[in-house]
């Protein structure tokens, strides 16, 4: 079931453990942490970033808590004022490995009852990290429940300034979704964590997908890419034609797919078959030449 939702990204804070650096603007894999988070929730009807104005890869609404620096609960309240969806995805801006899959899991667990369904008991769903800690800033909440909880806190505490997130959680009933890989909940709140994130994307199992995702974001394209198919094509072109044919052929495949609205995998198969025909002709020619030499 697809859930209509808005997203609130908390991108303020003093980043004291980073010496006051602008944490959401720090880059992992050539993309800012903020842009990496935004990429994980492309289906949001509206995305609100609570923090200073920053350039982003896609349009967002920017707002600030009042006063700036009043804390995460006040920031969440400021962001909520700009949303209209029944479900609100709430994220921090320093999650380099958050994926659309995790977002979908949270939305599914935290969505309110559908039309004609009995009322649910949960006010939302949040991620639980590998150590069992709640992550209230990797969560999907019912907007109505959040608004009630914020009003309750405002009335009881005389305001929201300086309140911790655990005070808000105490007013909500949430479902917990485990982050078994400990990736989605990984946050970059220290220089060591940032270095670890930058090293992780260069590991053998991640580097190609990370690079392709970064290139697509940089060029502003949406194109499904099967890395294995393209690598096989590059190998066939290099072997059957000439080494420089590998990058040129993969470029032409991508161009043809985009221009003609074709499936990249199908275009890759056609180009690979052509490269294999070239290779077969070359082998036949070499065999013929060898036979003539023997005569």
Encode pLDDT of 135-155 as tens digits. Answer: 999 999 999 999 999 999 999
- Residue 292 pLDDT: 54
Percent of the chain scored above 70 by pLDDT? 92
For the chain, give the mean pLDDT.
87
Q: Convert the pLDDT of each residue in 59-78 to its tens digit.
A: 999 999 988 889 999 999 99
- The string of pLDDT tens digits covering residues 277-294 is 888 887 887 776 655 555
114: pLDDT strictly greater than 50 = no
First to last CA, the chain: 72
The three-class DSSP label of residue 61 is: strand
120 confidence band (pLDDT: 50, 70, 90) = low
Look at residue 162 and tell me whether its pLDDT is greater than 50.
yes
State how far the Cα of 79 lies from the Cα of 237, in Å rounded to an integer: 52
Closest CA to 82 of 60, 59, 109: 60
Cis check for the bond before 13: say yes or no (omega within 30 of 0): no
**Tokens 């392709």 belong to residue:** 212
More confident residue, 111 or 164: 164
Residue 2 pLDDT: 53
Residue 140 in contact with residue 111, Cβ under 8 Å?
A: yes
Share of the chain above pLDDT 90, in %: 47
Q: pLDDT at residue 115 above 50? A: no
Q: What is the mean pLDDT of residues 192-200?
A: 90
Q: What contacts 110, CB < 8 A, 6 or more positions away?
A: 87, 122, 124, 125, 126, 139, 140, 141, 142, 174, 175
Q: What is the dihedral of CA 33, 34, 39, 45, to 10 degrees?
A: 160
178-187, 200-209, 283-292: which is most confident: 178-187
Instruction: Give pLDDT tens digits for 74-110.
Output: 999 999 999 999 999 999 999 999 999 999 999 998 8
pTM above 0.85, yes or no: no
Q: What is the largest CA-CA distance in the chain?
A: 101
Q: What is the mean pLDDT of residues 183-207?
A: 88
More confident site: 223 or 31: 31
């Amino acid at each position: 079931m697809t859930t209509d939702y808005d997203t609130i990204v908390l991108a303020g804070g003093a980043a004291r453990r980073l010496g006051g650096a602008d944490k959401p603007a720090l880059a992992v894999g050539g993309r800012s942490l903020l842009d990496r988070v935004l990429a994980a929730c492309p289906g949001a009807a509206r995305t609100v970033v609570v923090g200073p104005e920053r350039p982003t890869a896609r349009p967002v609404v920017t707002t600030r808590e009042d006063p700036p620096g009043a804390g995460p609960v006040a920031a969440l309240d400021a962001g909520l004022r700009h949303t209209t969806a029944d479900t609100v995805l709430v994220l921090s801006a320093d999650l380099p490995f958050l994926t659309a899959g995790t977002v979908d899991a949270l939305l599914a667990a935290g969505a309110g009852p559908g039309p004609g369904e009995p009322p649910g008991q949960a006010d939302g769903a949040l991620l639980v990290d590998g150590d069992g800690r709640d992550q209230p800033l990797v969560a999907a909440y019912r907007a109505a429940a959040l608004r009630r909880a914020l009003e309750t806190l405002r009335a009881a505490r005389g305001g929201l300034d300086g309140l911790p997130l655990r005070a808000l959680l105490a007013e909500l009933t949430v479902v917990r979704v485990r982050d078994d890989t400990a990736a989605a909940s990984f946050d970059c709140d220290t220089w060591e964590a940032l270095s670890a994130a930058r090293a992780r994307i260069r590991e053998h199992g991640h580097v190609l997908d990370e690079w392709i995702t970064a290139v697509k974001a940089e060029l502003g394209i949406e194109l499904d890419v099967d890395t294995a198919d393209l690598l096989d094509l590059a190998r066939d072109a290099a072997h059957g034609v000439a080494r420089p044919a590998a990058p040129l052929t993969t470029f032409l495949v991508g161009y043809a797919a985009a221009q003609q609205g074709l499936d990249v995998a199908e275009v890759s198969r056609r180009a690979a078959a052509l490269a294999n025909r070239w290779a077969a002709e070359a082998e036949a020619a070499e065999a013929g030449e060898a036979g003539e030499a023997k005569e």
